[in-house]
Amino acid sequence: MRKQRNVDKVYRDKGNKWARERKSRRNRKRKAAVILIAAFFLLCGAGSWYRSWQAEHTGIPDAVSSRTENGECFLDVTANADRIEDTEGFARTVIQMCRENSFRSIRLSTDLYGYPERLEINVYLHREEVNKEEPVMRIRYEPAEDPVEGEGGEKYNIKDHVGKYKLYVDGKEIPCYYY
């Protein structure tokens, strides 16, 4: 009988060993699942952060806000860049985007009153700086002279009367090539 007990004890020990191995395998599977889930959430978070960072550093201007009063449009535009190398070229690009109404975030309302007569644009480097810091440049686009009331009285607008406008960057007139 004693031999029988020893044999049973050996099998019992092996049974515990196999049970421990099964537990160990289950724990490893759980750890691997937790690590995979954590990696998935980390990649999702990094992907959304990268998309927002990329949008802010494209170098393509975007309008953040607009307000129109008496035919004059006031815009806040972000450069989406760390600096603006060619201020004149940048100003021309922004005016062209206003004329084409091609900003990514907003569209200028032209259905009731048409295109504006004048543009006043504050330019910031990034969206977070709007109304918190001074603009890096100010752009003004206005007619060289006001239309004469006796000659039809038609008011100018930025879309149809391009040749009658002047472009100013920080108060300095720059050549405009939209003819």
pLDDT tens-digit series, residues 48-97: 666 665 555 567 888 888 888 888 889 999 998 888 888 898 999 998 88
- In this prediction, residue 135 carries a pLDDT of 93
Q: Which domain holds residue 7?
A: 1-56
pLDDT tens, residue by residue, 20-30: 787 788 888 88
- Tell me how many domains the chain contains: 2
Shared domain for 49 and 102, answered yes or no, is no
Residue 150 has pLDDT above 60, yes or no: no
Q: Is 179 inside any structural domain?
A: no
- In this prediction, residue 179 carries a pLDDT of 47
- In this prediction, residue 124 carries a pLDDT of 92
Instruction: With 0.85 as the threshold, say if the pTM is over it.
Output: no
Q: How many residues does the chain have?
A: 179
Residue 169 has pLDDT above 90, yes or no: yes
**pLDDT, mean of residues 127-139:** 90
Shared domain for 2 and 86, answered yes or no, is no
Shared domain for 44 and 72, answered yes or no, is no
Shared domain for 43 and 10, answered yes or no, is yes
- In this prediction, residue 13 carries a pLDDT of 54
Q: Are strands 137-143 and 165-169 parallel, antiparallel or unpaired?
A: antiparallel
* C-alpha distance from residue 95 to each of 18, 100, 114, 128 (Å): 76, 9, 16, 22
Rg (CA), the chain: 33
Angle at 176 between CA 97 and CA 98, to 5 degrees: 15
Shared domain for 79 and 154, answered yes or no, is yes
pLDDT tens, residue by residue, 108-123: 877 777 888 889 999 9
Shared domain for 69 and 48, answered yes or no, is no
If one counts every other C-beta atom within 10 angstroms of the C-beta of residue 108, the result is 20
Q: Is 23 inside any structural domain?
A: yes
CA distance 169 to 141: 9
